Structure 1
């Protein structure tokens, strides 16, 4: 059984919900990532923001990223997977919620992220095709 921990990109970092989006953008640039998990005051996952969110939901709407909190872009229930989850469970979670990045949690702490690139390295061609059709095809 291949687990989420085995396919994830380790070393993901939180950004606190009260931080401003310009800080999130700088952290994304420094880490060379396109998404950040957002934590509440107890270091619990409360959302994910992406570089696209910052552009489309903030800048394109005339808002100032230096005056807009990360919490303002967090929508819906955040999805995550346990570090010991089987890769089929990871795939199901991402497909059923049509998401492209999934935080990996171990002992209530963020330990990594799974992205499409991580999936592509560990799935069969048929699984990748199904994922792409499910997440992008509808």
Structure 2
């Protein structure tokens, strides 16, 4: 069985919880990613911020991205999977919560991120179809 660690993109970088959204956008551009995990001073995962979050929840709401922090947009309990989770568990977690990216943890540390692109490159057509059907179907 394929494990999360075999599908994930390793070497993921966090945006500190107190960093501003303009810096988050710059990091996304530099890293060529659409999402960043938000980590606290304790190195714990506090959430994920996406490029869409910055646009919709900050810019379109008339807020200043140089004053709003990543932590200001961190909401709820972050979803994640263990590095040794079976890929079916990864698909189920992402599908259940209709999320397109998920952090991968090992020993309470962030070790990678799995995105739709990662799944598309590593999974069978059947697994991809299952994921797409569940994530993109409105409940």
* Shorter-chain TM-score range: over 0.9
- Range with greater deviation from structure 2 (122-131 or 100-109): 122-131
- Range with greater deviation from structure 2 (119-128 or 61-70): 119-128
In structure 2, stretches of 5+ residues that fail to align are: none
Aligned partner of residue 127 in structure 1, secondary structure:
helix
CA distance in structure 2 between the aligned counterparts of 1:131 and 1:108, rounded to whole angstroms = 26
C-alpha deviation, 1:103, in angstroms: 0.5
1:129 aligned partner: 129
C-alpha deviation, 1:46, in angstroms: 0.7
Aligned partner of residue 102 in structure 1, secondary structure:
strand
Aligned partner of residue 119 in structure 1, secondary structure:
helix
Cα shift readout 1:77-107 (whole Å, capped 9, x = no counterpart): 1001111111111111101111000101112
CA distance in structure 2 between the aligned counterparts of 1:131 and 1:86, rounded to whole angstroms = 14
2:119 aligned partner: 119
Cα shift readout 1:30-67 (whole Å, capped 9, x = no counterpart): 10000000012211001100000000000001100000
CA distance in structure 2 between the aligned counterparts of 1:30 and 1:91, rounded to whole angstroms = 28
Aligned partner of residue 23 in structure 2, secondary structure:
helix
C-alpha deviation, 1:126, in angstroms: 2.1
Give the TM-score normalised by the residue count of structure 2.
0.96
**Runs in 1 of length 4+ with deviation above 6 angstroms?**
none
In structure 1, stretches of 5+ residues that fail to align are: none
2:31 aligned partner: 31
1:82-97 alignment runs, 5 A limit? 82-97=82-97
C-alpha deviation, 1:128, in angstroms: 1.2
Tell me whether 1:72 sits opposite 2:72 in the alignment.
yes
2:8 aligned partner: 8
CA RMSD of aligned residues (A): 0.9
- The aligned length equals 138
CA distance in structure 1 between the aligned counterparts of 2:130 and 2:107, rounded to whole angstroms = 31
2:59 aligned partner: 59
